[in-house]
């Protein structure tokens, strides 16, 4: 069945079966990736995905049903109604009607229009450059070129019609360096608008792997620490749910009810920016118009992120942060997060650090972070810094602390923002005045 015909049938059947309203969230994507190893194509992937998530309002409750085959609209509506029937929560979740949105141009990536053979040739070229960078670079682990195109559509029986498209591109490189029996790997990626920076990618990956060859732990103790830009972003990412009104209303954020309070150093400002060129969008997962806002401004906590449900419960307006993905129900999530830049290049930040540790990678972010208490204990690596200069690489250490304390220990914020590959969040380098480290 054609998509619009399927949708119309869903809406007709939903009304027939007594639903007050119905909404469809449709997602489709086409993706390509090619990876090479030893000057040959190693893996190649061509993907076409699509799925439709139906949300019905039945007896004032929401029920969801998702499908990837568009052949039985009645069964889908019945499943959604069946799911609405068991809802016991009394929280109301509004469905909104037609909205008007700010125009957002679909961003093109540098790999737009590049043919498949040329993408493969690009991957082969990256591998060649990585191997030629230094004789100690022995091989690549991952050398991949990826492109994708996605389309999202939201429609409901109240007249909502919101559609958007996006393009993605990525170059991903991981290379292995070996010297005197020591083996280390380096990793870097270039995303979206930067997916043509082959030389930068190769240099960062190779230098990262080579530098690690000299790595060793440091003594257990407390240190002044610089979180390098993309590592700072990577570190902050697992704590993002602390700013979700959904988490707060479920008793899972210690920031609940603390709007207007000072929670971080004066130099720390965090934006949620839906119009950031990284991934711009004019509406959220409920079709609510998005807007840019500070979550933390000069250290003061400004707002939780809301969808219409959490906003209604809190007696406020949605912040345009409804999250929706695949078969999941409407949730709450950030758009693009951005820590506001302060002053100083990366090298200047090292100077400000003076003596301490620079950390550029963390391990265990999914397990070593307690989102309830804010405690973290993570594997880390980076470099030992003396007088603002790297002395040697450091690995196999852990850092431990609490996010609420750490936000107040931010002494300075750099002007070198970078994204992490783990989520849509960018941060400049952050100088932390004190942190517990376990090593030797």
Partner 1 sequence: MISNSSAERVLCAALETGADFAELFAEDCDRNRLTMSDGRIEQSLSSHRHGAGVRVMRGAQSAYAYTADTGEAALIDTARAAAAALSGSAKPHTLQFMKKAYATPQKISLSGVTNDRRVALMHQAHAAGKAVSEKVRQFTLSYMDEVQRVLICNTEGVWAEDVRPRTRMGILAVASEGAAAERGLEAPGCCRGFESYRDRIDVEASARKAAERAVLLLSAKDCPGGNMPVVISGGFGGVIFHEACGHSLEATSVGPGNSEFCGKLNTKIAAPCVSAMDDGTIPFEWGSINIDDEGTPGQKNLLIENGILKSYLVDRVGAQRLHLPLTGSSRRQDYTFAPTSRMTNTFICPGKDDPDEMIRTMGTGLYAATLGGGSVNPLTGEFNFAVAEGYWVRDGKIVCPVRGAMLIGKGAEILQRIDRVGPSMWMAQGMCGSVSGSVPTNVGQPVIRVTSITVGGKGGEL
Among 14, 19, 21, 80, binds partner 1 (CB under 8 A): 80
Distance from C-alpha of 46 to C-alpha of 36, rounded to nearest angstrom: 15
Query: For the residues of 199-210, what is the DSSP string, one character each?
Result: HHHHHHHHHHHH
Among 103, 113, 251, 315, binds partner 1 (CB under 8 A): 251
Return the number of the residue (65 or 126) whose C-beta is nearest partner 1: 65
**Binding window for partner 1 (CB under 8 A); candidates: 1-9, 348-356, 392-400, 417-425:** 392-400
- Residue 44 contacts partner 1 per CB under 8 A: yes
Closest residue by Cα to residue 202 from 186, 182, 179: 186
Closest residue by Cα to residue 362 from 389, 316, 406, 395: 395
Among 51, 289, 299, 388, binds partner 1 (CB under 8 A): 51
Closest residue by Cα to residue 428 from 279, 305, 269, 300: 269
Among 26, 56, 63, 156, binds partner 1 (CB under 8 A): 63
**Binding window for partner 1 (CB under 8 A); candidates: 57-65, 237-245, 275-283, 332-340:** 57-65
Convert residues 344-383 into a mask of x (bound to partner 1 by CB under 8 A) and - (unbound).
-------------------xx-xxx-x-xx-xxxxx----
Among 5, 16, 82, 317, binds partner 1 (CB under 8 A): 82
- Residue 92 contacts partner 1 per CB under 8 A: no
Q: Shortest gap between Cβ of 340 and partner 1 (angstroms)?
A: 28
Q: Which residues pair with 195 in a beta bridge?
A: none
Convert residues 185-214 into a mask of x (bound to partner 1 by CB under 8 A) and - (unbound).
x-----------------------------
Distance from C-alpha of 278 to C-alpha of 238, rounded to nearest angstrom: 19
Q: Who contacts 90 (Cβ-Cβ below 8 Å, separation ≥6)?
A: none
**Binding window for partner 1 (CB under 8 A); candidates: 74-82, 259-267, 347-355, 424-432:** 74-82
Cβ contact 85:78 at 8 Å: no
Of residues 268-287, which lie at the interface with partner 1 (CB under 8 A)?
none
Among 87, 124, 213, 300, binds partner 1 (CB under 8 A): 87
Query: What angle separates helix 198-212 from helix 116-133, to the nearest 10 degrees?
Result: 40
- Residue 74 contacts partner 1 per CB under 8 A: no
SS3 415: coil
- Residue 94 contacts partner 1 per CB under 8 A: no
- Residue 34 contacts partner 1 per CB under 8 A: yes
Distance from C-alpha of 242 to C-alpha of 170, rounded to nearest angstrom: 29
Query: For the residues of 210-266, what is the DSSP string, one character each?
Result: HHHTT-B---SEEEEEEE-HHHHHHHHGGGGGGGBHHHHHTT--TTTT-TTSB-S-T
- Residue 438 contacts partner 1 per CB under 8 A: yes
- Residue 216 contacts partner 1 per CB under 8 A: no
Among 217, 289, 354, 423, binds partner 1 (CB under 8 A): 217
CB-count exposure of residue 151 (10 Å: 0-12, 13-18, 19+): middle
- Residue 239 contacts partner 1 per CB under 8 A: no
């Amino acid at each position: 069945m054609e998509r619009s015909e399927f949708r119309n049938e869903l809406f007709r059947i939903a009304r027939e079966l007594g639903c007050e309203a119905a909404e469809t969230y449709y997602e489709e994507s086409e993706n390509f990736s090619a990876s090479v190893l030893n000057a040959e194509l190693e893996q190649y992937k061509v993907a076409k995905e699509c799925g439709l998530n139906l949300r019905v309002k039945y007896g004032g409750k929401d029920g969801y049903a998702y499908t990837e085959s568009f052949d039985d609209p009645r069964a889908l509506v019945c499943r959604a109604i069946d799911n609405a029937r068991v809802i016991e929560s009394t929280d109301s979740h509004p469905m909104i009607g037609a909205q008007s949105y700010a125009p957002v141009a679909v961003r093109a990536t540098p790999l737009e229009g590049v043919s498949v053979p040329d993408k493969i040739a690009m991957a082969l070229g990256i591998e060649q450059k990585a191997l030629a960078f230094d004789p100690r670079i022995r091989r690549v682990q991952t050398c991949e070129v990826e492109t994708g195109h996605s389309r999202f559509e939201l429609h409901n029986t109240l007249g909502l019609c919101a559609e958007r498209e996006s393009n993605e591109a990525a170059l991903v490189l991981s290379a292995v360096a070996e010297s005197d029996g020591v083996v280390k790997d380096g990793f870097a990626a270039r995303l979206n608008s930067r997916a043509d920076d082959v030389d930068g990618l190769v240099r960062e990956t190779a230098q990262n792997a080579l530098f690690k060859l000299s790595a060793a732990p440091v003594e257990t103790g407390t240190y002044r620490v610089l979180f390098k830009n993309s590592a700072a972003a990577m570190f902050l990412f697992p704590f993002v749910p602390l700013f979700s009104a959904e988490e707060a209303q479920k008793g899972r954020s210690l920031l609940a009810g603390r709007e207007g309070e000072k929670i971080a150093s004066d130099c720390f400002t965090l934006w949620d920016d839906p119009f950031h060129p990284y991934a711009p969008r004019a509406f959220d997962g409920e079709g609510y118009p998005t807007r840019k806002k500070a979550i933390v401004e000069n250290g003061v906590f400004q707002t939780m992120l809301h969808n219409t449900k959490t906003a209604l419960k809190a007696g406020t307006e949605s912040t345009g942060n409804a999250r929706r993905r695949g078969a999941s129900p409407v949730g709450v999530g950030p758009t693009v997060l951005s820590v506001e830049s302060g002053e100083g290049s990366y090298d200047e930040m090292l100077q400000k650090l003076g003596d301490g540790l620079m950390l550029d990678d963390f391990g265990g972010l999914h397990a070593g972070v307690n989102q309830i208490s804010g405690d973290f204990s993570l594997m880390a690596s980076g470099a030992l810094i003396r007088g603002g200069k790297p002395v040697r690489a450091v690995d196999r250490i852990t850092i431990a602390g609490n996010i609420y304390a750490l936000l107040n220990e931010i002494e300075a914020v750099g002007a070198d923002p970078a994204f992490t590959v783990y989520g849509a969040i960018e941060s400049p380098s952050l100088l932390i005045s004190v942190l517990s480290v376990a090593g030797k």
